[in-house]
Amino acid sequence: MVKKITRVPKHVAIIMDGNGRWAKSRMMPRSYGHRQGMHRMIGLMEHAYDLGVDYITVYALSTENLKRPKEELDGLFTLLRDHFLEYMRKVCARGVKLKVLGDVSLLPEDVREIIREAEAETAGFSGKGLNIALAYGAREELVRAANEAVKKGEPLTEESLSAALYTGGQPDPDLIIRTGKEKRLSNFLLYQAAYAELYFSDKMFPEFSDADLEKAFVDYAKRARRFGKTDEQCKAED
């Protein structure tokens, strides 16, 4: 059943955190948590599009995560090798365009090839968008964009910087959801998040249900987004 929610975020970003702790609490290896997390993410994406979202951005692997033990990273890359294409095909079948955000040169070559293939398959789609942040760090993204401007010898403007980010041309996130009890951004979308509403859930990601997503959207719909203006100004513009 898809609930009617009055104001659905156009762009929702999700920091999927807590896979490891969820697995540990079940005396299972962290890799099991990542597998269940990836599976849950697909269900959540489909539900979010059903609710009317246009863009979804998922934080799947940060540049800092690349310093994790080799065994955990190998497990994550194997998961991508085994399931990324199949999962992306499932979600993107509704005409969603896929983009991977991040410094993919830091990923193994065969994983990069899978990403290229998945992106190429949706290249002709427009309208809805799906961003998967892999080997992503907002500081790296900003430094890279700034260096491009230096090379061109052009001063940056808010518009040109925004366009040079991995998310260039897309709307900023309206809502950022983080699971796993922590209340921080951990180097995610630092520039794009300027006016995002933040929602934190104590649930570990593999147990964050479709109903939990709806709860976050209902909470979002109640927020007064003023963008620096007064309530009176906002009402006058409505």
Catalytic residue annotation: 17, 65
Closer by beta carbon to Mg ion, 49 or else 59: 59
Q: Taking CB within 5 to 8 Å according to partner kind, which of Mg ion, ligand IPE, none is near residue 16?
A: ligand IPE
Look at the block and give the residue holding tokens 């080799």.
70
Smallest separation (angstroms) from Mg ion to the CB of 189: 17
Q: Is 15 in the site for ligand IPE (CB under 6 A)?
A: yes
| Cβ(48)–Cβ(65) below 8 Å | no
Burial of 22 (0-12, 13-18, 19+ CB in 10 A): buried
Burial of 2 (0-12, 13-18, 19+ CB in 10 A): exposed
Q: Is 184 in the site for ligand IPE (CB under 6 A)?
A: yes
Q: What is the spatial distance between Cα 112 and Cα 77, in angstroms, rounded to a whole number?
A: 10
Q: Is 137 in the site for ligand IPE (CB under 6 A)?
A: no
| Nearest alpha-carbon partner for 13 in 212, 192, 228, 206 | 192
| Nearest alpha-carbon partner for 224 in 211, 212, 238, 210 | 238
Closer by beta carbon to ligand IPE, 121 or else 212: 212
**Maximum C-alpha span of the chain:** 57
Smallest separation (angstroms) from Mg ion to the CB of 177: 14
Q: Taking CB within 5 to 8 Å according to partner kind, which of ligand IPE, Mg ion, none is near residue 65?
A: ligand IPE
Please report the beta strands in 21-173, taking only residues with DSSP state E, as ranges in sequence order: 55-62, 97-101, 129-136
Q: Is 174 in the site for Mg ion (CB under 5 A)?
A: no
Smallest separation (angstroms) from Mg ion to the CB of 17: 4
Q: Is 61 in the site for ligand IPE (CB under 6 A)?
A: yes
Q: Is 18 in the site for ligand IPE (CB under 6 A)?
A: yes
- Selected from 12, 14, 17, 177, the binder of Mg ion by CB under 5 A is 17
Site for ligand IPE in 185-204 (CB under 6 A): 186
Q: What is the spatial distance between Cα 58 and Cα 33, in angstroms, rounded to a whole number?
A: 16
Q: Is 182 in the site for ligand IPE (CB under 6 A)?
A: yes
Contacts with ligand IPE by CB under 6 A lie at 15-21, 59-62, 65, 180, 182, 184, 186
Residues contributing to the site for Mg ion (CB under 5 A): 17
